A and B are shown apart, each in its own frame.
Chain A
Amino acid sequence: MDTIIQGNAYVLGRNIDTDQIIPAEHLVYSLSDPEEVKMYGKYALSGVPIDQAGLPEGGIPFVEEGCFSSPYTIIIAGPNFGCGSSREHAPFALKVAGAKAIIAESYARIFYRNCVDGGFVIPYETEHPLNKTVMTGDELSLDMENNTLTNLTQNVIYQLRPLGDVVNIVQAGGIFEYARKNDLMASSEA
C-alpha cells in the first residue's frame, strides 16, 4: 500500500447519503463485468444536487458529462458521510471513478465498513471541519504513515485521526486478505 496519496480535492457538505453517491436506478449494472463497471464511474456522486457539488462554489460535477472517471482523488466532506442504504455500490463507484481516499468528520457505519472490508477507498476521520476551508481543486497530499493532510495549494497541514483498529484490514487491502493472513477463513460450522 502506498503511504502517500496525492491529488486534487473534491469538497462536499454533510449527510451525503448513498443515494447521492450512486442513485438507486443505476444499481442494476454488474460489479464484475468490465464494460458495465464503467457505468459506476460515470454516475458516481451524480445524485448530489448541483449547487452542493464541488464546494465552496458548487456547480462542479465530480465526473464531467460523457466521462467515466473523475479528475479528483481525495473527497473532503462534513459529518455522517455515506448514510442511508447499505449498497456497497457506493464506495465501489467512488473507487471506479478514481477516488482513493475520503476525509470526513464522521461516517455512517455500513458505508465505513464497506470502505474498509471491501478495500475500496480509505476513510479517514478529522476533527477539523475541512470542508469549510479546503476548496474543490486544491492540491492535497495525504500521508498515511503520519496521519496528516497537507493542502499544498494553501500551504497548511492538518492532523487526522488515526485509523485505529481497522488499520490492519486497510493495510491488508480488505477483509478477505486480512482473514487469509490471520487464518480466519474457516467456516464456523466446519
Chain B
Amino acid sequence: MSQTITQKIFARAANRKFVDPGQSVWLNVDVLLTHDVCGPPTFDIFKQEFGPDARVWNPEKVVVLPDHYIFTANEHAHRNIDLLRQFAAEQGLPNYYDVGTERYRGVCHVALAEEGFNLPGTVLFGTDSHTCTSGAFGMFGSGIGNTDAAFILGTGKLWEKVPDSMKFIFEGRMPEYLTAKDLILQILGDITTDGATYRAMEFDGEAVYSLPMDERMTLCNMAIEAGGMNGIIAVDTVTEAFVKARTSKPYEIFTSDPDARYHSMYRYNVEKLEPVVAQPHSPDNRATVRSVAGTPVTKSYIGSCTGGKLTDFRLAAKILKGRKVAVTTNIVPATVLVASQLSTETWEGQTLRQIFEEAGCNIALPSCAACLGGPSDTVGRSVDKDVVVSTTNRNFPGRMGSKNAGVYLASPLTAAASAVTGKLTDPRDFL
C-alpha cells in the first residue's frame, strides 16, 4: 500500500507497516519541546498525575527552551523561568537552555534546528503551535497543550489521528523579489485559516528545493495558520548537509510514494506570483503588495520564528543598505546565534548589524518579543492604533499587543521596503 511521508513517519512511530488517514494511533515520541509559558503548567500536571517523585520518561528527549517572556520586568514571568530551572535540575534534564547564562539560545523552533534536534523521520511534539516549523527537515512536528505534553513526559507516547495530506507544488525559479513568506501567504489566501485543519501540508517542487533551510522552515512554520497538523518537506542534499553539520545522531529518510493518496493538490508557478501581505485581522486576508501600496504604517517589525532567521535579515539588508527607515523599525533576531551572525555576515562590504544601525533600526535581544504582544514592557509591542508591517505569522485582533492595532504580515523584503517609505511598498521598487 502506498503512503505519504507523514503516513510513513506515523507508521514508524506506531510500530506498524501501514497507517490509514483518519485512524487514531499511539505514537512513540522522539522529542518533547516546551518553553517558559507552557513548561511550568505542564510540569505541574505531570507531578499531579504521575506523583511528586515521578521521573520523566527519558531526560535526553525533553528539550526546554525558554524564549517567550525573557527581557521583561514582569515578576510572574521571572517566576516561570525559576520553575523551569527547578524542574530541569530536579529531573537532570541535559537539554535545558537557561536564561541569563551562556546556554540561553532564544526562539525554540529556530534553536531546535541550530542544536541538531531536528532529525528526518522523527516525531516531535511541542507545547507551541509553531512546532510544525521542524517539518522542514522531513520529520513530523506538531503543537499540543500542557495536558498532552504532561502525558508524554510520563509515558513517552501520545494518541494522534493520522492526517490526510494536501500537496502544494511550487514550480519555476524563485525571482529575487519573492520569499517563502510570499508562498505561504499565497496558499493561506487560497485555502483560508481552516483549509488544512487536521491535515498534513506537504510542500514540493523545484522552487521549494531551491530554498535554504531557513526559508523551508518559514513555509512549514505557517502550516498551523491554515489549521494544519504539520507541514513537511522531503529531505534532500541541503537538508542532509544542514543536519550532519550539527549532529551525528542516526536518522531515517522517508519519501511519499508516487501513487500516494492526497486530499488535494495545488500547483503554482513562482515566476507568476507576486509579493503579498495578509491584511488585518487574519493570515488568510491576502492582497498583493501593489494593490495596497501606499497604506501608511507606524512600525515595521522583522523577527520571530518565521521571520527572524539569518536569511530574513540578509533579505532585509539588501533593501536597507544605504537607506534610512521612516518609521520605528525593530530588528529582533530569533536566537543568540542569529544575533551574532548579524555582526559577521556582510552585504556589499558592511555587516548586517552596521546596515541596520545606519538605517536607524532598533536591534533587540533574541526572544519571541512582540510577535505575541507579551508583557506590557515588551520591545516592539503595538500600542493604540498602530499599523505594523511585520514578518511574524499571526495578525488576529490584539496579537501584537493592542486590540486597536492592525498588523500586515509580510516578507522581510516587503517589511524593509515599507520601513523605508513609511507606507506599504512592493520590494520591486527597491530591487
Q: Measuring CB to CB, which residues of chain A are less than 8 angstroms from any residue of chain B?
A: 15, 17, 19-20, 23-25, 27-32, 47-49, 79-80, 83-89, 91, 106-110, 113-114, 117-118, 165, 174-176, 179, 184-190
Contact = CB atoms under 8 A, between A and B. Distances in A.
A44 to B, nearest CB: 14
A113 B58 contact: no
Nearest to B370: A24
B122 interface: no
B197 A108 contact: yes
Nearest to B41: A31
Contact of A84 (B24, B29, B396, B403): B396
B179 interface: no
A54 to B, nearest CB: 15
Contacts, number: 148
Given A84-B129, A84-B396, A109-B197, A49 B145 contact: no
B74 interface: yes
Given A28-B69, A184-B155, A83 B77 contact: no
B145 A19 contact: no
B151 A17 contact: no
A30 B40 CA distance: 8
Interface of B is mostly: loop
B398 A20 contact: yes
B196 to A, nearest CB: 10
Interface string B136-180: 000000011111100100111101000000000000000000000
Contacts of B147: 88, 114, 117-118, 174-176
B227 interface: yes
Given A110-B129, A188-B156, A189-B57, A23 B148 contact: no
Interface in B64-84: 68-69, 74, 76-77, 79-80
B57 A19 contact: no
A15 B154 contact: no
B194 A79 contact: yes
A185 B50 CA distance: 9
